[in-house]
Amino acid sequence: MFAKILIANRGEIACRVIRTARKLGVRTVAIYSDADAKSLHVEMADEAVHIGASPVGESYLRGDKIIAAALATGAQAIHPGYGFLSENPDFVDQVTAAGLIFIGPSAASIRAMGLKDAAKRLMEKAGVPVVPGYHGEAQEIVLLASKAREIGYPVLIKARAGGGGKGMRRVEHPDEFSEALSSARREAKAAFGDDRVLVEKYVDKPRHIEVQVFGDNLGNVVHLYERDCSAQRRHQKVIEESPAPGMTPALRKAMTEAAVKAAKAINYSGAGTIEFIVDASQGLNSDRFWFMEMNTRLQVEHPVTEMVTGTDLVEWQLRVASGEKLPKTQSEIALVGHAFEARIYAEDAAKGFLPATGTLHHLKFPDAAPQGATMRIETGVRAGDAISPYYDPMIAKLVVHATDRQAALEALGAALSRTEIAGSTVNTAFLAALAADPDFAAGDVDTSLIARHQTALTEVAPPTGETIAAAAVAASGAGASPSPNDPWSSLAGYAHFHSVARRTRLKFGEDEIVAKVSVRYDGRFQVTLDKPYDDTNSHDFRSTPRLARWPGHITVFEGAVGYTFTVPDPLARADEAAAGSGSLRAPMPGLVKLVRVGKGDAVIKGQPLLILEAMKMEHTIAAPHDGVIAEIATEGAQVTDGTVLVRFFEEQAIPTAVAS
């Protein structure tokens, strides 16, 4: 076993590797960028090395700096985690050339599976079923469009490099092919440095089911059963589970045998995942699944497999990389119970899952799983940490395990309802709604389920009068602990002839709220709302609900939903001019990738104006109304959240030449 390893990653995966290394007595070296100087993984590691500035190109993608840090600290091996350089064969070559061990597959294995088109040709030769489509080298648009017609619409354009849904477009009609191809190529180029694509038949009711495989350097390969990752939004996984609902013995046998065959075809060593697409339009049949791609690394969702098989896959990685054989044979690996993993992100589900930033002023996970279930929280952040625009906005992975799917699903819902996060927009309410969705609960899942139900899944009911009243109590300070600097808290419960009332102002979105909070003689709080929010409009509390106070805000938690209220500063002046409808602001930090219109152009409502790239995904910014462009951001500009991207002429100021 190694004495010391360097972890070439950050966040929750770095923390995950550190925990197992510590269990095995292996010392760890963390690397960090400027943005991560005070992060959890740096605190947990035995040593830490500064690697560069915050952008990934200057830090976590600098293989030369990472290798130098490993050599300088005496590390014997490098664990890549996932993302960044984990599937970069050139980095693997550099690691081995430096006399270090790469904790993962060989560069040859990564290259064999790194490009989807070449991988599918290899799998065809190995007898693994692949999706009907064009996987060739030629990339002329005329040829690709012709192949799409031969395959039959709808088709799927996919970047041949990378994954995560980047560079992927569904095309319904030949007239849409050219634009979809251009968009997919731009996104693929930005994400992977490779704009080549393949074209495949789009499966009508696709299930995404993957098989965890593991190989050693002695030629042994085993599978650790399947995971269902069909619950996706924008081709990115949201909730994963194992085993797959509705899985038949025949399909499991065929799929796991194909996965092991695929791994053996490239002499695979380490943790890997064989991803299949399954046509579920007529149930799960053993002749209706096809190879999509192989991820030659540990997966984000690996805890699901660990929960149902009782294994530690990171421990397996360290043992295999140090020369040991696989810890278990195939017959010794059992599938027990059911597990779910929910990915908690800083994102706005109601706004198309736009990534969010902010400071996690309040972060609290459940203390324990519901009775009969087990739970683990995988996270790389603490209360007070910032969600940076430079990296993936994952906050945590909530993983539960129980005896069967129904019990595990109930445990997942209960755990989400007791998770409290304030300071950034998060997706806990969406995750809870998905877990409770009738189709999802019944196991009737496919990759389009979220898109079909998106409105219902992302819609959050407005706060009730009781929720608003609870926020008013918190904002007034009446529910706070006594403080020498707060004369109101010292008067709690006292009144000479009648209860003392305090006038409190709040905002929820654009809604102004005025409330009167009184502290009664028996210690209860009485709240009267000036605006009728419900039938009673008056509420009594002995204690306030779950809530968090943070600078200028109150967040009240109802189940998995957090309602955030602003506590206005009476001395602050609002910038009314910036709130007008004559401009469009960036909804998130990003890069202006493409500008479609220019100054003086007349546009109509819904017309695409520019493309903003954030988190390596493209977001189209469209005109909210008819108008004439007065100013528009420059192509290639890096913008922050709230930057004015487009300004329209006021109607009376439209230039004569344009107006005519």
215 Cβ neighbours under 8 A, 6+ residues apart: 105, 221, 222, 263, 264, 267, 268, 269, 270, 272, 320, 326
Q: Is 297 a catalytic residue?
A: yes
Q: How far apart are CA 204 and CA 490, in angstroms?
A: 66
Helix and strand totals (H; E) in the chain: 19, 38
Helix/strand/coil (H/E/C) assignment for every residue in 606-652:
CCEEEEEEECCEEEEEECCCCEEEEEECCCCCEECCCCEEEEECCHH
Q: What one-character-per-residue DSSP string does 2-67 give?
A: -SEEEE---HHHHHHHHHHHHHTT-EEEEEEEGGGTT-HHHHHSSEEEEEE-SSGGGTTT-HHHHH
Going by C-alpha positions, the residue among 62, 49, 56, 60 that lies closest to residue 4 is: 49
State the DSSP code for 326.
P
- Helices 405-417 and 428-436 cross at an angle (nearest 10°) of 150
The one catalytic residue in 297, 319, 405, 549 is 297
Q: What are the phi and psi torsion angles at 653 (to 5°)?
A: -105, 5
Q: What are the phi and psi torsion angles at 629 (to 5°)?
A: -75, 125
182 Cβ neighbours under 8 A, 6+ residues apart: none
| Terminal-residue alpha carbon distance, the chain | 78
Residues with a catalytic annotation lie at 297
